[in-house]
């Protein structure tokens, strides 16, 4: 404008102009494109390239709201993603799916909110039956020579049990089946893949009496 030149190229591309066609070269925009891989735009707020100093505040005041709204558009996709994530957390629960975490990110301590599931309909009409009951936990007692020796010397019974059964479940199953109290329960996995349990009875119970009761002798 100062030289009386009107740039007709400015109205091309619906008033948007690629950086390579910008009349000012070797500027900050070119540096960011090449070296920083950064997207940067240049906005011309007036057709006058060299306005007077007293007019500069008016350019800012007239365009401030529009510029701020333009910058807000960057976060639209992020806000939508956060909203969808919050909706999913409310419907399915925060900890319903475990995801991989980046171990290189510093995690600061913060309060974690949980949401109680509120299904619109019952997921199951009846409660699930416990398949691992005491009859399934204790498969069979061992009657080998070494097992009988432990029964006589250490007051200990040996059983083949379910692989998924833990020590507490084994203890409860033996107590319910044979009406005995135990001092200790140990387990191991055999080479054939079966799980063996060593059940040491309490001092006031005799392992031989239990073996006679279950008919292992």
Q: Catalytic: 145?
A: no
Q: How far is CA 39 from CA 31, 44, 186, in A?
A: 11, 17, 65
Where along the chain do its domains lie?
8-75, 134-214
CATH 3.30.70.330 fits 134-214, yes or no: yes
Query: pLDDT tens digits for the chain (217 residues)?
Result: 444 444 444 444 455 555 555 555 555 666 666 777 776 777 777 778 788 888 888 888 888 888 888 888 777 777 677 777 776 766 665 455 566 666 666 666 665 555 556 666 666 777 777 778 888 899 989 988 888 988 889 999 999 999 888 999 999 999 999 888 989 999 988 888 889 999 999 989 888 888 888 775 4
Q: What is the DSSP letter of 32?
A: I
Residue in 44, 53, 69, 145 annotated catalytic: 44
What predicted TM-score, i.e. pTM, was given to this entire model? 0.41
Residue 192 burial (CB count, 10 A)? 5
- Of 131, 163, 147, the C-alpha closest to 199 is 147
Question: Distance between CA atoms of 161 and 181, rounded to whole angstroms?
Answer: 18
């Amino acid at each position: 404008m100062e030289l009386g030149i009107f740039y007709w190229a400015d109205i091309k591309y619906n008033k948007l102009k690629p950086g390579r066609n910008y009349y000012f070269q070797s500027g900050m925009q070119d540096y960011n494109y090449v070296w920083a891989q950064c997207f940067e735009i240049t906005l011309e707020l007036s057709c006058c390239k060299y306005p007077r100093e007293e007019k500069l505040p008016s350019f800012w005041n007239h365009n401030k709201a529009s510029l701020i709204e333009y910058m807000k558009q960057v976060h639209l996709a992020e806000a939508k993603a956060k909203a969808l994530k919050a909706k999913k957390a409310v419907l399915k629960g925060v900890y319903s799916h475990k995801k991989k975490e980046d171990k290189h990110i510093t995690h600061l301590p913060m309060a974690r909110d949980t949401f109680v599931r509120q299904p619109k309909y019952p997921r199951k009409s009846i409660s699930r039956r416990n398949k691992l009951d005491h009859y399934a936990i204790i498969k069979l007692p061992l009657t080998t020579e070494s097992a009988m020796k432990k029964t006589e010397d250490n007051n200990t019974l040996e059983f083949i049990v379910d692989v998924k059964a833990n020590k507490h479940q084994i203890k409860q199953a033996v107590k319910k089946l044979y009406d005995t109290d135990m001092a200790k329960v140990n387990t191991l996995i055999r080479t054939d893949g079966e799980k063996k349990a060593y059940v040491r009875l309490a001092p006031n119970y005799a392992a031989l009496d239990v073996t006679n009761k279950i008919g292992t002798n």
